[in-house]
Each structure stands twice: as structure tokens, then as C-alpha cells.
């Protein structure tokens, strides 16, 4: 049985438009002007048990709306969904005992309480037996290295410390599926690495199915084998991450600091995106050259002070995917019309 199965799932919102002025407001009470906004068009996909799926898309694409439907927070306008065999919006209470969620921008920890108190409360909410709760709590405290700040109020914790506690709290009742919405947002490189390690362990050791949304390319590359891209409420790509990287991650960004302002800079497949004196931001087309060749050219022709190599932001990759997919759809429509 698939962990998540979605067929024709769609969601529309009715929006009221307020008219200007007092008279307009009064008219709006009795005869409101309304319009319908389609947040999610009919979508279909499945997620297998134990899979780590990246659910990607720019802001406003329909990611959060989809997650809210899969967790039972929102009722869909149409279609079907089964999460661990449960209908999320009609069997939400039963489903809640089998899923967990972590939202990077919204805490489930009590702000003025220490994490240990929140863990105790979560254990009771999910009706975890006292012996099982203590064993599970102690295991998570050790694994996530939470000991130093268990008794510190959440409001006094750093973002990285709080995020570790958030994930631990979501795992207390041993959920079969965990929804992770931007779990590494705002974290520094060291903390991101630790969070990713913990997520990998959770999936490998417990077989937890992970449904991940993120704009961080590192999250996607290091954690997920498959990605679904959604834009304007519809799925535009469902493929393995390796295929996505091969087809769409065709360039890298190099930031340079040279000893002096370069008089000329010409390297095949390398474009200067931005220059500020001796500081340059380069875009390297990896279909024409390699990072090694680009760096070799720089070192051989210029005095290098500092260098940073980055993946393009996930937003740019998704925009590129959407643009390319849109062109392919347009060509298909044109071909169909001609035939």
C-alpha cells in the first residue's frame, strides 16, 4: 500500500471583493462581489512507504495548500486522497496519530515553556504510554543532542536549537509519515548539515516516509531521490532528483575576489553576471565547460584572493523548469493544432 495516494485533488477558494466607500461596503454585505481562485488544479501522484519526496514550487504554487489537504486541515474542492489508508479530511483524528509535521516558520513548541514540558504534553496528546514515552523521549534527546537546553524556555533558544526540538517533538509518537515544510530555513551551514543528518537517520533507521518542501538545493540533493514540481496549482514535473539535476542544473555560480580588477575575462561557457571592481559573480554553463576548467582558467590568468562555488537558488531552477516545460507544452499544442 502506498503511503500517500492522490487522484484529481483540487482546491478553489471563493474570494469576496470589497467595494470602495461606505455605500459600497453596505452593498457588499447584501450583494457581495465574489470570484473563484483555483489554488490547486486536479493533481495525481503517489508516495511509497519509506520514500523521501521533495515537493517543490515557487511561492504561491500550491505547495502549502496541498500539504494542508493531505493533513486534513483543508477540505478539497474535488478529487480523492488517501494517507496511510485514511481520508485526511474525514478521518483527521485517526490520521493525526500516524503523521507528524514540522513547519520551519511556525513552531509547535510552547513559546514560554522549555522543550521538556512540550515533549511531556505532546506525549499525552498522542496518548503514548508512559514507559514508551520515556524511552522514546530519552532516545530522541540523545540522538538530537538536546540535553544542554531541555530546561531553557523556547523563546531563548537559537533557531537551530529550536528546529532540533521541533523535529524531535514531531517524532515522539513514532509517525509513519512526516511533513517537513522548509526545515532548514534560516539556519547556518553547520546546523543545516546536522539537521539533514538527523532526517537521513530517521528515514533509514525507522523507515519514515518524508514529504519535504524546500527552496534549498542542498536539502533536495542530499535528502531526496524523487521530486515533484508544482506551479500555478498543477504538477509540471515528477522525476528523480538525479534526472532533474542532469536536465536542469546545467549551471553553477562562482563568486570571485581577485587581487586586481581584470582587464579582460574570456572563458568558454562562463558569463560575468555581476562585477564590482575586482569582485565578480560568474555563471558557469556546465554543458559547455566544467567547474575545474573554469577555475583553472581563473588561476592561470588572474591572481585569486577568494572563491565561492554555489548552486543556483532553487527558485531559479524551478523557474527554469517551468519555462522549459511551458515551451514544450506550447510546442505540443501547436503541433496538435497543425495536425
SS (H, E, C) 170-212: HHCCCCCEEEEECCCCCCCHHHHHHHHHHHHHHHHHHCCEEEE
Q: Which pLDDT score is estimated for 330?
A: 45
- Residues of the chain with pLDDT > 70: what percent? 93
Mean pLDDT of 244-254: 80
Q: How far is 273 from 323, CA to CA, in rounded Å?
A: 20
> What pLDDT digit, counting tens, does each position of 90-120 carry?
999 999 999 999 887 778 899 999 999 999 9
CB atoms within 10 A of CB 112: 10
pLDDT band at 3 (very low <50, low <70, confident <90, very high): very high
DSSP string, 15-32: EEEPPSHHHHHHHHHHS-
Q: Tell me which residue of 67, 96, 90, 60 sits closest to 9, measured CA to CA.
A: 67
In sequence order, which residues have a C-beta less than 8 Å from that of residue 278 and are 6 or more positions away? 257, 258, 259, 260, 261, 262, 305
Angle formed by the axes of helices 130-143 and 115-125, to 10°? 140
What is the predicted pLDDT for the residue at 141? 94
**Measured between alpha carbons, how far is 230 from 221 in angstroms, rounded to an integer?**
18
Tell me the pLDDT of the chain averaged across its residues. 87
- Examine the pLDDT at 21 and tell me if it is beyond 80: no
DSSP string, 266-291: --TTEEEEEEETTEEEEEEETTT--H
Mean pLDDT of 274-278: 90
**DSSP three-state, residue 143:** helix
C-alpha 278/C-alpha 299 separation (Å) is 14
pLDDT at 32 over 80: no
Kindly list the strands in the beta sheet with 279-285, ordered across the sheet, starting from the edge strand earlier in the chain. 270-276, 279-285, 251-258, 304-310
Q: Where are the alpha helices (DSSP H) in the chain?
A: 21-30, 63-70, 92-96, 115-125, 130-143, 159-171, 189-206, 217-223, 241-248, 291-301, 314-338
pLDDT at 329: 53
pLDDT tens for 65-81 read 999 999 999 999 999 99
Residue 122, all three cell numbers? 505532546
Amino acid at each position: 500500500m502506498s503511503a500517500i495516494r492522490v487522484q484529481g485533488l483540487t482546491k478553489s477558494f471563493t474570494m469576496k471583493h470589497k467595494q470602495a466607500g461606505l455605500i459600497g461596503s453596505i452593498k457588499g454585505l447584501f450583494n457581495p462581489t465574489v470570484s473563484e481562485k483555483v489554488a490547486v488544479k486536479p493533481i495525481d501522484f503517489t508516495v511509497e512507504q519509506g520514500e523521501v519526496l521533495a515537493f517543490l514550487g515557487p511561492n504561491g504554487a500550491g505547495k502549502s495548500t496541498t500539504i494542508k489537504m493531505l493533513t486534513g486541515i483543508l477540505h478539497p474542492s474535488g478529487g480523492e486522497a488517501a494517507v496511510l489508508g485514511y481520508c485526511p479530511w474525514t478521518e483527521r483524528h485517526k490520521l493525526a496519530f500516524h503523521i507528524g509535521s514540522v513547519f520551519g516558520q511556525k513552531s509547535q513548541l510552547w513559546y514560554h515553556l522549555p522543550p521538556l514540558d512540550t515533549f511531556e504534553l505532546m506525549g499525552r496528546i498522542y496518548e503514548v504510554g508512559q514507559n514508551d514515552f520515556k524511552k522514546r523521549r530519552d532516545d530522541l534527546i540523545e540522538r538530537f543532542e538536546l540535553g544542554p537546553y531541555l530546561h531553557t524556555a523556547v523563546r531563548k533558544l537559537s533557531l537551530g536549537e529550536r528546529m532540533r526540538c521541533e523535529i524531535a517533538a514531531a517524532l515522539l509518537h513514532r509517525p509513519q509519515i512526516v511533513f517537513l515544510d522548509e526545515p532548514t530555513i534560516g539556519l547556518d551551514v553547520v546546523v543545516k548539515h546536522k539537521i539533514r543528518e538527523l532526517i537521513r537517520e530517521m528515514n533509514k533507521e525507522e523507515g519514515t516516509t518524508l514529504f519535504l518542501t524546500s527552496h534549498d538545493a542542498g536539502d533536495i540533493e542530499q535528502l531526496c531521490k524523487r521530486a515533484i514540481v508544482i506551479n500555478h496549482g498543477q504538477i509540471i514535473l515528477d522525476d528523480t532528483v538525479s534526472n532533474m539535476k542532469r536536465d536542469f542544473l546545467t549551471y553553477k555560480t562562482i563568486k570571485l575576489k581577485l587581487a586586481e580588477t581584470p582587464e579582460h575575462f574570456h572563458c568558454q561557457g562562463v558569463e560575468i553576471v555581476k562585477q564590482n571592481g575586482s569582485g565578480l559573480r560568474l555563471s558557469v554553463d556546465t554543458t559547455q565547460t566544467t567547474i575545474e576548467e573554469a577555475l583553472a582558467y581563473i588561476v592561470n590568468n588572474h591572481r585569486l584572493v577568494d572563491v565561492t562555488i554555489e548552486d543556483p537558488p532553487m527558485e531559479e531552477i524551478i523557474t527554469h523548469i517551468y519555462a522549459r516545460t511551458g515551451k514544450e507544452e506550447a510546442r505540443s499544442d501547436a503541433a496538435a493544432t497543425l495536425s
